[in-house]
């Protein structure tokens, strides 16, 4: 089983032009659960793969309790997971800064639609090094200049 990351945006551009060795944007939804893809808010959908092909080589937590946070010695994360997640953050941040809308769904393969929790994520309150995915969450990204409690950085 694997993690799967999907994004949607209102930007029509070909995001695959931003592919690298650690992250790829793909339009192939052959094996995707359409009920989950239908949760995405915007017109243009992308599967986000990591160097493993699936989305496993990103920073993930199985729950949201620890919130966003920088890597720590007691929770092992590879340098590729950390770097790929920073690249993802940079790409999403760039899209948002240019005035585009973006959301993201991160699931464990086999997750059902009713298991996914939606969260607003203010990127101006989540530092690049602290961003990570939470299993079975739908992030709606924004950059609202609003100060949020520094514990979870979530709305």
> Where exactly are the structural domains of the chain?
3-142
Q: Which residues contact 55 (CB under 8 A, 6 or more apart)?
A: 2, 3, 4, 5, 48, 49, 106
pLDDT digits (tens, 9 = 90+) for 15-66: 999 999 999 999 988 888 999 999 999 999 999 999 999 999 999 998 888 8
Q: For residues 141 and 120, what is the distance between their CA atoms, to the nearest angstrom?
A: 6
Give the mean pLDDT of the chain.
91
Is the model's pLDDT at 70 over the cut of 70? yes
Least confident range from 102-111, 130-139, 142-151: namely 142-151
Cα 111–chain centre separation: 16
pLDDT band at 145 (very low <50, low <70, confident <90, very high): low
Is the model's pLDDT at 148 over the cut of 50? no
* pLDDT at residue 74, rounded to an integer: 87
């Amino acid at each position: 089983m694997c993690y799967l990351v999907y994004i949607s945006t209102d930007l029509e551009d070909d995001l695959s032009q931003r592919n690298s060795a650690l992250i790829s944007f793909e339009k192939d939804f052959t094996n995707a659960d359409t009920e989950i893809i239908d949760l995405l808010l915007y017109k243009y959908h992308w599967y986000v793969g990591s160097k493993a092909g699936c989305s496993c080589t990103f920073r993930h937590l199985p729950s949201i309790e620890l919130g966003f946070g920088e890597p720590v010695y007691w929770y092992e994360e590879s340098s590729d997971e950390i770097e790929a997640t920073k690249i993802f953050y940079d790409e999403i941040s760039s899209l948002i800064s240019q005035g585009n809308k973006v959301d993201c769904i991160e699931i464990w393969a086999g997750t059902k639609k009713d298991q996914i929790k939606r969260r607003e994520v203010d990127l101006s309150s989540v530092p690049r090094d602290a961003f990570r995915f939470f299993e079975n969450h739908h992030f709606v990204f924004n950059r609202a200049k609003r100060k949020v409690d520094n514990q979870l950085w979530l709305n």
